[in-house]
């Protein structure tokens, strides 16, 4: 993209990001142009494109932007809380769009990889340990993804009660429990193993199949089912 001395409003119309989006579609815009539209304005001496380019250069990818400390953003001149909030909100919308689209399609879960493909973009970057439960019907089709309160595996009993309760409320025939390790290492701890046994036992009592317990790390996962540990 050409660089002009003046602000974007003085650029030729067919080179302005917003006008380009309406004329040719959002898919034709670069990452920098998409980010510039969110920013709307730059600062004295630099356009929104210039500011967006600086941000992309620093963080490299949108994923990296999604799990950064707020202090890193404040290093950019002209980037106040309102603009930071707009960017963070847009990134979250992207993640939720994928999850909602999957729920509406009622996809069938056949293996741990299906779960990893669905939830990895969100679970890998969480800074706290978070539990979710995939609620499945009798054909292993996804009914919903239950959000379980943040906590740690040391609080196993309350987490198990909440998972089973969510399953019963949604008439689920089976569940897959997932949680993340903020350290990035998905290997199960002894507490993880004990939790899985307790959850499986609770599921048998309530006639709900516990098909798997998947732990997410950084772009990797551990599946109790794949390792033959679901008994």
Q: Per-residue pLDDT for 4 more than 60?
A: no
The answer on 177 and 149 residing in a single domain is: yes
pLDDT of residue 8: 59
Of all residues in the chain, what percent carry a pLDDT higher than 90? Answer: 39
In-domain check, residue 1: no
Q: Which long-range contacts (CB under 8 A, 24 or more apart) does 221-230 make?
A: 221/112, 221/115, 221/116, 221/120, 221/186, 222/186, 222/187, 222/188, 223/112, 224/188, 224/196, 225/112, 226/111, 226/112, 229/193, 229/196, 230/196, 230/200
Answer yes or no: do 73 and 114 share one domain: no
Lowest mean pLDDT among 91-95, 137-141, 195-199: 91-95
- Residue 171 domain boundaries: 106-223
Residue 58 lies in a domain: yes
Q: What is the pLDDT of residue 23?
A: 81
Tell whether 114 and 206 lie within a shared domain.
yes
Whether residues 151 and 45 fall in one domain: no
pLDDT digits (tens, 9 = 90+) for 78-104: 788 888 888 888 888 877 777 676 666
Give the tens place of pLDDT for each residue, 158-182: 789 999 999 999 999 999 999 999 8
Do 150 and 77 belong to one domain? no
Whether this model's pTM surpasses 0.75 = no
Average pLDDT, the chain: 84
pLDDT at 155: 56
């Amino acid at each position: 993209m050409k660089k002009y001395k003046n602000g974007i409003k003085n650029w030729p119309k067919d080179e302005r990001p917003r006008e380009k989006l309406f004329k040719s579609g959002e898919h034709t815009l670069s990452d920098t142009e998409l980010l510039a539209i969110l920013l709307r304005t730059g600062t004295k001496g630099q356009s929104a494109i210039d500011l967006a380019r600086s941000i992309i250069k620093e963080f490299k990818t949108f994923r990296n932007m999604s799990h950064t400390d707020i202090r890193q953003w404040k290093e950019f001149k002209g980037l106040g809380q309102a603009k930071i909030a707009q960017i963070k909100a847009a990134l979250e919308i992207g993640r939720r769009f994928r999850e909602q689209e999957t729920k509406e399609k009622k996809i069938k879960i056949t293996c741990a990889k299906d779960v990893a493909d669905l939830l990895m973009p969100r679970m890998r970057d969480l800074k706290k340990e978070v539990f979710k439960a995939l609620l499945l019907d009798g054909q292993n089709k996804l009914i919903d993804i239950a959000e379980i309160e943040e906590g740690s595996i040391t609080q196993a009993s309350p987490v198990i009660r909440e998972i089973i309760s969510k399953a019963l409320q949604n008439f689920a025939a089976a569940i897959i429990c997932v949680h993340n390790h903020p350290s990035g290492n998905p290997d199960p701890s002894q507490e993880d193993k004990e939790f899985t046994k307790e959850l499986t036992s609770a599921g048998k009592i309530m006639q709900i199949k516990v098909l798997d317990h998947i732990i997410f790390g950084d772009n990797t996962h551990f599946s109790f089912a794949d390792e033959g540990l679901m008994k």
